[in-house]
Structure 1
Amino acid sequence: MPENRPLGERTNFLLSQLGFHTAARFTERLADLGIHPSHFGLLMHLSQGEGRTQQQLAEALGIHRKVMVGLLDDLEQRGLAERRRHPADRRAHAIFLTDAARTLLPDAQARADAEEEDLLTGLDSAERRQLLGLLQRLAERTGNPRGVHPGLRRHPGR
């Protein structure tokens, strides 16, 4: 018979509880910037390498191409990304951040940092490093690519 442990003593429950909590709070923190966490994730990836095609971004992030098109449409409508003809392939579009995105991103990153700081209050720097290392190891074991949130696979609002 399986061990009858309370939910508060189950790692999977606690991780889910904390994930839900921090995701909801981060969504609230970004709301007045007019973006969702999935937009933030894509903007962060774009900031690390502009000029990739929609297809390259979709493959790198493990996102279906239709979801990528929807996310990029949202960012374009918000004036945060632009599609330009790819210089080597006229059929493809290269994706770039706009000046508005470059202005917005530091504020969004500061909000992400504040959410992380709030979540980790009470842990000293050694405990934070240990927790980060353990979570990275677990994420790797589950096949999650580093720095890619599985929530990106869904279009915001769905």
Structure 2
Amino acid sequence: MPPPSDRPLNERTNFLLSQLGFHTAMRFTERLAALDIQPSHFGLLMHLAQGEGRSQQQLAEALGIHRKVMVGLLDDLEQRGLAERRRHPADRRAHAIHLTDAARTLLPQARAIADAEEEDLLTGLSGEQRRQLLGLLQHMAENSGNPQGVHPGLRRNPGSP
């Protein structure tokens, strides 16, 4: 076996994860374009679906993103008719964020796209291999320092590279 520094790229875990991540991210972005949303929109919509009514500040803190990025994401969702800001019932200086009916209609379609992308990615793996891979990736993610269930790409404005 060659010394670690001489290993080819196809024997490096970090390269393979990056290669597969880039590939699936590009395909997911292309697929979501049919719904006129980007992966960052999908991520925020998924978080909103788990608990509406949080303030912009609470959402930004929970997702570990800068408040200015949150404002940009919410502006995009509002312009698309997918989210709305309402006066927060407990803090009149804050806005509570809610999904619109359009978002409730769009989310099942977006989830189906995410499911199809995942299925394509995992083609060729048995059910046991899929469970094993998921468990290993979850374990690695827990040790990455990222908030659970929050993609690092969510921290950027939707239009930024």
Q: What is the TM-score normalised by the length of structure 1?
A: 0.98
Distance in 2, matches of 1:137 and 1:109, equals 23
| Correspondent of 1:133 among 124, 132, 135 | 135
| Correspondent of 2:23 among 17, 21, 24 | 21
What do you get for the CA RMSD once the two structures are aligned? 0.9
Distance in 1, matches of 2:59 and 2:25, equals 23
Distance in 1, matches of 2:93 and 2:46, equals 25
Q: Residue 62 of structure 1: CA displacement? A: 0.4
Structure 1 counterpart of 2:104? 102
| Correspondent of 2:83 among 81, 84, 100 | 81
Equivalent position SS for 1:17: helix
Distance in 2, matches of 1:71 and 1:99, equals 18
Structure 2 counterpart of 1:57? 59
In structure 1, the gaps of 5 or more residues are: none
| Correspondent of 1:44 among 46, 59, 65 | 46
Aligned residues: 158
Q: Residue 156 of structure 1: CA displacement? A: 1.2
Aligned-residue sequence identity (percent) comes to 84
Structure 1 counterpart of 2:34? 32
Distance in 2, matches of 1:152 and 1:27, equals 13
In structure 2, the gaps of 5 or more residues are: none
Distance in 2, matches of 1:155 and 1:23, equals 16
Letter in 1 for 2:104: R
Letter in 1 for 2:101: D
Letter in 1 for 2:90: A
Letter in 2 for 1:20: F
Distance in 1, matches of 2:4 and 2:119, equals 37
Q: Residue 145 of structure 1: CA displacement? A: 1.7
Q: What is the TM-score normalised by the length of structure 2?
A: 0.96
Q: Residue 15 of structure 1: CA displacement? A: 0.2
| Correspondent of 2:13 among 11, 14, 18 | 11
The ranges of structure 1 where at least 4 consecutive aligned residues each deviate by more than 4 angstroms after the TM superposition are none
Equivalent position SS for 2:150: coil
Letter in 2 for 1:65: R
Q: Deviations over 1:93-123 (max 9, x none)?
A: 0000000000000000000000000000000
Q: Residue 2 of structure 1: CA displacement? A: 5.3
Letter in 2 for 1:6: P
Q: Residue 144 of structure 1: CA displacement? A: 1.6
